[in-house]
Structure 1
Amino acid sequence: MRPNASETSWEESFLSAEHAGGDPPPRLTAWGVALCASGAVITAENAVVVTAILATPSLRAPVFLLLASLGLADLLAGVALVTRFLFLFCLAPSAWSELVTSGLLVTSLSASLCSLMGVALDRYLSLSHALTYGSGRSRRRAALLLLLVWAGASVVGAGPAMGWHCLDEPASCSVAPPLTRTYLSLLCGGFLAAVAVTLQLYAGICRVARRHAHAIATQRHFLPSGQPYAGKRGGGRGFSRLVLVLGVFVGCWMPFSLWGLLGDASSPPLYTYATLTPAAFSSLLNPLLYTLRNKDIRKVLLHACCPRRQAAQMHCPEDV
C-alpha cells in the first residue's frame, strides 16, 4: 500500500522507495531540512580540504593522497545527501532517482571507509618502515591503492543501477530500500571486515610505537633493557587521541553494519535511520579527526585565510 504525500512522516523521508514516478513530492519536514543542511556542511567542509591538498605541491606524500581521497569520498556523501533532498522535496521522486542517490551513497561511503583503512595502513607503514616510506615508490603504490579503492567502490555502488534492487520485488527489500537484503548483507559484511582490518592496523601501530619508544629509552639509559617501557609524558596524550579516533570510527560504522545484517524489510524504519545517521555523520567528523589535525594542512589553511600571518608561529601538536 502506497502512502499519500500528506501521510509521509519524517521516518519515511530518507530511504523510502515507495514513491512512484508520478506522485508529487512529499511535504517538507524537519528531517528533510536537517538532511539538506548536513549535506551542505559536509560538502563545503570536505571541498575546502580537497582543494587545499590538491592545490599545494608540497602535499604529495602518501598520507596526503589518502586524506584527499577521504575528503573526496566524504564530499560525494554530502552531494548525495543534498541530491536526495532535492529529489524528495523539490522534484517528483522516481525509481531512477532512488537508484542514483542510493548508488552514490554506497559508492561514497565505501570509498570513505576504504580510505580510512588506507590511512591506518599508511600510519602503520610509516612507523614500521620509517627510513624508506614516503619515497616516490611509496607514492606510486599509494596512487595505485587509491585507484583500486575507487574502482571497487564504483563497481559496488553501481549494483542498484545494474539491477540489484528491490523496486520490482518489495519482499526482497532490506532495511534500506531500494537495496536488496542480499546486497546489503554483502555490503555490511565488507564493512565489518574493513573495520576489523583497521582495528588490527591500529593495534599494530600501538605495538610498533611502544617498541620504538622502548628502544630509544633503553639506548638513552632511561631504564634497564629488560624492563617494559611505559610512556609518561607523550604516551597518555597519544593514546587518548588513538582511543578517540577508534571510538568515533567504530561508533559510526558498527551500528549500521550490524543492523544491515540482522534487519529486514519488516523491521522498524526508525532503527535504520538511527544506525545510518552515524555512518553519514562520519563524513562530517573525518576532516576534524584526520585532516585538520595534520599540522601541514593546518598551515596551508591558515596561510590561505591569513596570508600575512606566518604559519611557523603556530605551535601545532603532532597527530597520532
Structure 2
Amino acid sequence: MRRLTRTLITTALVTAAVAGTAGWASGTEQRAVTGAPVGTERWRAAGLPDPESMSPAGVARFFAGLSPVRQRALALAHPTVVGNLDGAPLELRYAANARSVRGEFGGARVLAHDTRGRGQVALVYGDLARAEHVAVIVPGSDVDAAHTRPLTAMAEALRSATGGRTAVVAWAGYTTPVGVGLDAATGRLAEAGAERLTRFTDGLAAVGAAEPSVFCHSYGSVVCGLAARDLKAKDLVVLGSPGMRAENASALGTSARVWAAKDPTDWIDRVPNVRLADLGHGTDPADPAFGARRVPADDARGHGGYFAAGTSSLRAFAAIAVGDVR
C-alpha cells in the first residue's frame, strides 16, 4: 500500500509539473526520424553499399578506397546520402549539403541536412578537420531545421568565448519535443536521438576530428544521458537538465568527465526529479549527490541564459571546451 501511494504521488507530481511549466496542451506528439537518409533507394539501386549496414568507420573506409574524382561524382549524384553519411569526408559532406541548402544557414558550414519530418541539421562553426578542440551542442525542445536560432546562438557564443580555438557543432540532429508535453516528459524521442548522437560522434572519430566536449541543454541532456555509455566524448556537460535517466554519474557508464549547471531562476527546477516507468527523467544532475562536477551558474538567467555573454557559466564552458580545467 505504501509503495502504491508513493507511485500515485509521483505520477501526480510529474503530471502537474509538466502541465504547469508551460502547458501540457502545448506539446504535440512527434514521430522520431530514424533510418537511412533520403535518396538511399537510388544509392542502393546504383550498386553502392547499404548505409544502414555500414558503421561510420566502414563509411570512412569505403570513401578512402575511392579516387577524389569518384568521391565528387557520388556527392553530385547522391547529395542527400553523401551529405548525411557519418564517416564520409567532411569537405565532401559540406559540398553535398551546399547544393540543397543554398546559403540558408549563413555563417556556418552544413555537415548534415535531413529534410524529413520537421528537418534536422548539423551546423559547423570553425575548422572541424583541423581544430585542436571540438564542442558539440545538443539542444532541447522546439529546435529543428527551421528553428535553429537558440542553438546557433549558443554555438556562436561558445566559439567566441574560446577565442576561436574551438570548432563548434550545433547539432540539431534528432527529432526534439514540441512544447512541454508528454514527449518532453518521456524518453521515446531521446532514445532515438541517442542513437543518432552516438553515430554522429563515431563519425567524427572516423574522420580524425578531435574528441569533443558535448554540451547538452534541457531535454538534450536526456539524449546525452542515454547515449553516454557509447558516446565518444571527453566531457559531458548538462545545463538546465530535467534528468539524465541515471541515478548518478557513475551509472552513466562513461569515461567522460560529467559536468552540470543549473541557475537559480531556471524553471526546470520546478520539475520533480522522479521517474515512473517512462515518465520523468530521474535524479537532478546538478544535485551534489549525483556526482557531477559543478559548473557555476548563479549569474545566468532563466532556462536559456547559460551561454549569455559575461556569465560565469559561459566562461566555465569555454574553459572545459579548450581543456583549461581539470
Compute the TM-score of the two structures, normalised by the length of structure 2.
Answer: 0.25
Compute the TM-score of the two structures, normalised by the length of structure 1.
Answer: 0.26
Larger gyration radius, structure 1 or structure 2 = 1
The one of the two structures with greater contact order (alpha-carbon pairs below 8 A, sep at least 6) is 1
